[in-house]
Amino acid sequence: MALTLAAIACGAIVGVEREKKIKPAGLRTMILIALGSALFTMLSGLLTDDVQDKSRVAAQIVSGIGFLGAGAILHDSVRIRGLTTAAMIWFMAAIGMLCGAGYGGIAIVLTVVLSLLLQIITRIENRYLGPCFHTQVTLLFDDRDGKTSVRVDSILEEYRIMTGAFTKSLTDNGLTEMTVRYCSAHKHHKSFLLKFADMPEIKNIQRE
């Protein structure tokens, strides 16, 4: 019981950090990965005493988690996304196996160290690799009975512009005005403007 609780705690520590950053693999996913790996490792010990058989189960966990990690990696026209998420999935599987092998205390320590390390790396990135300065752009477009809004929302979702980062209003001439806040420090955060520029429904793009 203590080992399963340790696996859950490890998954929660990492999952909360990923959840705050609005990553696809968040709290529930990390807990399930750590707990599942721990349970498979414990089952391998209960079902057989053969070291070779136990190593086969461990190898299958690594192979299976590889497919899960690969599913988290996305490639679009701007960049490859999800590499850090895939690496976290891989790490949490190892932590779960460590818990299942009876080393829950060490697993928790390693998880806490990783969490602190991620925070330090984030601060270094913000300070030396360019902090995320937010700016905004105002779009004026013909909504065409909501069809344009659907396309605009799809583009914003593709480039991970959160729904709370933009506002809409209707102008006196019947056009829709949308103000979008985005990060100007990173190229992939503002590349969505190129797609908007190619849309004939958008009448005006004004950056501030």
User: Domains in the chain, please, with CATH?
Assistant: 2-128 (no CATH), 134-207 (3.30.70.260)
- Tens of pLDDT, residues 182-195: 776 666 666 778 88
Q: Give Cβ neighbours of residue 118 (< 8 Å, ≥ 6 apart).
A: 17
How large a percentage of the chain has pLDDT more than 70? 81
Tell me the average pLDDT across 58-73. Answer: 73
Cα dihedral 82, 84, 86, 88 sign: negative
Under 8 Å between Cβ of 176 and 148: yes
When pLDDT is averaged across residues 134-158 and rounded to a whole number, the result is 86
Please enumerate in sequence order all residues whose Cβ is within 8 A of that of 26, keeping only pairs 6 or more positions apart, or say none: 15, 18, 19
> Is this model's pTM higher than 0.85 or not?
no
At 77 the pLDDT is: 47
Q: Residue 177 — φ and ψ, nearest 5°?
A: -110, 125
For position 79, what pLDDT does the model report? Answer: 54
Q: Identify the pLDDT of residue 78.
A: 46
Closest CA to 82 of 140, 22, 126: 22
Q: Would you state the structure tokens that stand for residue 157, as one six-digit string?
A: 């979702």
Place of tokens 């969490």: 115
- φ, ψ for residue 152, nearest 5 deg: -65, -45
SS (H, E, C) 163-202: HHHEEEEECCCCCEEEEEEEECCCHHHHCHHHHHHCCCCE
pLDDT band at 129 (very low <50, low <70, confident <90, very high): low
pLDDT band at 54 (very low <50, low <70, confident <90, very high): low
